[in-house]
Structure formats: C-alpha cells, structure tokens
Structure 1
Amino acid sequence: MPAKAVDAINGGLLAHLVTIDPDGSPYVRCVWTYAEVDSLMIGSMSLDKRYIRNLQRDPRVSISYESGVIDDHGLAEYLVAEGHAEVLGDGGGRVLLNRLGAAYIGPDADFLADPAVGEGHRIRVRLTKVTGVGAWLA
C-alpha cells in the first residue's frame, strides 16, 4: 500500500469491512483500522461478534475507504483493500483501540484506557490487493 494511503488511513478514515456470512452473502461493518504497508490491524473487544465468527470460518475480506476528496468527475476518491484476516490470540485490542481513539475521536481521547475493560483482540489483515482511485494511491 502506498505511503500516502497509509498516512490517510491512520489519520482516521472509517473503514467498511466486508466479511462472508455462512450462506455466502456479504456482511458489512464499520471498523477503525491501523494501516501498515502490507497489512491492516483492527481491534475488537469481543470474540462474540458476527464479523469475528465470519473471519474465523472464512478469512477473506474486503475493506473500503473514502478519502473525502471529490475528483473532477464528481466521484469520491476511494481505496479498496483485499486480503486474509487472522484473529490474533495475544489480546491487544484495548490498547490498539485506545491508540486509534486519538485519530478517530481526538488527540486527547481516553477511549478504553481503563484496564478493567479487558484486553480485547486484534485482527491482522494481510493484504493481497489494493485498488482504487485518487492521489493517495500514487
């Protein structure tokens, strides 16, 4: 993934995560993500969520973002990342979500900072394809 896209995503762009339900239909959920060149990280506080169960059964995902920029044709610039997700068993969801709170809520956010909330879980998406339209893909 290009550095401009990593920076934009880590600046607080909301992600639309698509997983696959047991009947083969898509399931879409908005999530916060942290981007790296070759992967995306997602935090979750519970394994008892539909998208987590979907990932444990079928790890294929698509994640979309809009940059907030409208191009000369009136269309929003976008990025779509595809890959395979893995629910990590090392905790870390609370720490990741608290860190992401600064980008999504504000620099002084204290989101899930209380350790009594629990550790949660992290999901790593190893990217296989990144497509889209916009200067952030240059």
Structure 2
Amino acid sequence: MIPTSHVDILEKESFAHIATILPDGTPQVTPVWVDHDDREAILLNTARGRRKEKNIKQNPNVSVSILDPDDPYRYISVRGEATLTEDGAVDHIDKLAKKYMGVDEYPHHGDESGPRVIIRIPADHVVTSG
C-alpha cells in the first residue's frame, strides 16, 4: 500500500518518471502524469503503440518515482509488474487532463497512435523518503 503519509504527492500536479526496459535490455525513462488506485497501485495513462506500452508488453517489470513538487527531497518510488488495460482509459485520461491542464476533456483524443491504455503498477514494493 502507498503510505497515507505520502499519498498527497500523488494527488498534486506531480510528475512521475517511469522506467521500462527496451528490447535490447537497456532502461528507458519517461515523464508522465500520475494517479493512484485507492493507495493500492500507481496509475499512468498512455496510448497503444507508444514505446513504454510496447516495452511493458514485452517485459512488465517497471519502476516509477514521483517527487513532491513542493519538496524534491520527499518522494515515493514503486516497482513491480505493470498491467495494461483499455477499460476506463479514456475516462482516466480525461480525469488526468482535469488535474494537470484544468480542462474537462483531454484535448488530444484521436491524435494519438492508438487507443488509450491505463498502466497499473501494484504498490507491493514501495520506498518513501521525507
């Protein structure tokens, strides 16, 4: 579980950095918007066909870290096996657009390389600081 002491980081306009593994075995890190699932998992959103989605399909082992935008020495890090689902992904990206852009609907629907996908990373291995 994500500790209650650090859940506020996920509810701010914090940016996460997700590390996935490229086909050649090297890491790839991408900044992304972040959300959580009742403290049980980190939720991210992407489009089918994006590099991170392809990497996760090949190797679901990921790590994500999120700094507190108000105190960069305070953070939460989660690692584990990510899952991918299209279920609820459009509503989820709209929710994230409200949080990060202040708009009711994600402005790039249809501009992406594929359907929206939720990346879910269970909070089984959590490290916090600060």
For 1:82-128, what per-residue CA distance to the aligned partner results, in whole angstroms no more than 9, with x for missing partners? 111111142x222111111222123xx13326876785221211122
Bigger share in helix: 1
1:84 aligns with 2:81: yes
Query: Structure 2: which amino acid aligns with 1:110?
Result: D
What residue is the counterpart of 2:13 in the other structure? Answer: 12
- Which of 107, 111, 118 pairs up with 2:105? 111
Unaligned stretches of 5+ residues in structure 2: none
**Given the superposition, is the C-alpha separation of residues 115 and 24 from structure 1 closer, same or farther in structure 2, using an over 3 Å criterion?**
closer
Aligned-partner Cα distance in 1 for 2:74–2:12: 16
Percent identical among aligned pairs is: 27
Hey, what's the Cα distance between the residues in 1 that align with 2:120 and 2:11? 15
- Distance change in 2, residues 1:69/1:110 (3 Å): closer
Conserved 8 A contact 2:61-2:80? yes
Write out aligned runs for 1:32-111 (5 A): 32-36=33-37, 37-44=39-46, 46-70=47-71, 76-90=73-87, 92-106=88-102, 109-111=103-105
Matched, 1:131 2:130: no
Return 5+ residue gaps in structure 1 as ranges: none
CA distance in 1, matches of 2:107, 2:101: 13
Contact 2:89 2:116 in 1 (8 A): yes
Give secondary structure in 2 for the equivalent of 1:4: coil
Is the partner of 1:40 in helix, strand or coil?
A: strand
- TM-score normalised by length of structure 1: 0.79
